[in-house]
């Protein structure tokens, strides 16, 4: 996967807008895409995102010995990794992290948006006890107003996670590592052009294309 490119801010990384990525995005954006295809191609994009996010974690030099008895000057992650999904949609990103980092712990935060005020409300949190010593990948496919992300980051900060150890990973909008930056929000605070409710389309609830 080629390195991501900066977008307007040194803290924002956009995946390279390759022909493959645009094709994958076209599939998951289409309202006619069936749920099984939505899941398959979303998972492909999520894997690309996780791989890119891991590139932004600090490394340390590590010398290992190969089966030939030779030394190899390699690298290793500097610290332990933790994934924190913003429920429910963020849970769709957990498997890709587990596939890349088998030892990564997973935490969960449930934040729901008040449809009248568009403000986030914290309902539930379950985080690893040692989360303050880990690098955290905050997982959420969609970023609209940013309220849920800000609230989730507040939760992590309150648990002692340093701000510079939090990487927000997301499919559509403009977080630290994202797959696409969309035009903006409509009057109901939904992303345009977007792809609808990611959680409903991925998990198959209240979706017209479940078959």
| 53-62, 152-161, 194-203: least confidently modelled range | 194-203
Does 179 map to a domain? yes
Domain count, the chain: 1
Please tell me the pTM assigned to this model. Answer: 0.78
Residues of the chain with pLDDT > 70: what percent?
79
Q: Residues 15-71: pLDDT tens digits?
A: 888 999 999 999 988 889 999 998 999 999 999 999 999 999 999 999 999 999 999
Say what the pLDDT of residue 4 is: 45
Confidence grade of residue 89 (pLDDT, cut at 50, 70, 90): confident
Give residue 179's pLDDT.
57
Task: Report the CATH number at residue 41.
Answer: 3.40.50.2020
Whether 127 has a pLDDT exceeding 60, the answer reads yes
Q: What is the mean pLDDT of residues 144-151?
A: 80
Indicate whether 147 belongs to any domain.
yes
- The residue ranking higher by pLDDT, 200 or 27, is 27
Strand partners, 113: 120
Query: Which residue range forms the structural domain that includes residue 97?
Result: 5-203
Q: Quick one: pLDDT at residue 169?
A: 92
Residue 55 lies in a domain: yes
Q: What is the pLDDT of residues 90-110, one digit of tens each?
A: 999 999 999 999 888 999 999
Each residue's pLDDT tens digit, 165-195? 999 998 876 434 555 565 566 666 666 666 6
Could you tell me if residue 170 is inside a domain? yes
Has residue 2 got a pLDDT over 60? no
The 3 state secondary structure assigned to the chain is CCCCEECCCCCCEECCCCHHHHHHHHHHHCCCCCHHHHHHHHHHHHHHHHHHHHCCCCEEEEEEECCCCCEEEEEEECCCEEEEEEECHHHHHHHHHHHHCCCCEEEEEEEEECCCCCCEEEEEEECCCCHHHCEEEEECCECCCCHHHHHHHHHHHHCCCCHHHEEEEEEECCCCEEEECCCEECCCCCEECCCCCHHHHHHCCCCCCCC
In a domain, 60, yes or no: yes
Over the stretch 130-139, which tens digit does the pLDDT of each residue have?
999 999 999 9
pLDDT of amino acid 192 = 64
For residue 209, tell me if it sits in a domain: no
- pLDDT at position 6, please? 42
DSSP strand pairing (81-87 vs 135-139): parallel
In a domain, 157, yes or no: yes
Is position 211 within any domain?
Answer: no
Determine what percent of the chain is predicted with pLDDT higher than 90.
Answer: 52
d(C-alpha 6, C-alpha 84), whole Å: 24
Structure tokens at 115: 């449809």
């Amino acid at each position: 996967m080629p390195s991501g490119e900066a977008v307007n801010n040194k803290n924002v990384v956009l995946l390279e807008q390759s022909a493959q990525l645009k094709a994958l995005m076209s599939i998951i954006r289409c309202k006619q895409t069936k749920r099984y295809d939505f899941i398959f191609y979303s998972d492909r994009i999520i894997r690309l995102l996780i791989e890119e996010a891991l590139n932004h974690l600090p490394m340390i030099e590590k010398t290992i010995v190969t089966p030939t008895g030779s030394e190899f000057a390699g690298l290793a992650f500097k610290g332990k990794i933790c994934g924190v999904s913003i429920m429910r949609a963020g849970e769709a990103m957990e498997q890709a992290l587990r596939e890349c980092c088998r030892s990564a712990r997973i935490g969960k935060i449930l934040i729901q948006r008040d449809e009248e005020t568009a403000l986030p409300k914290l309902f539930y949190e379950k985080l690893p006890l040692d989360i303050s010593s880990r690098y955290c990948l905050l997982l959420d496919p969609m970023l609209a107003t940013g309220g849920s992300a800000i609230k989730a980051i507040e939760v992590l900060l309150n648990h002692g996670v340093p701000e510079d150890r939090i990487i927000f990973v997301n499919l559509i909008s403009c977080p630290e590592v994202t797959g696409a930056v969309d035009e903006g929000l409509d009057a109901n605070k939904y992303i345009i052009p977007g792809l609808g409710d990611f959680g409903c389309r991925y998990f198959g609830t209240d979706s017209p294309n479940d078959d």
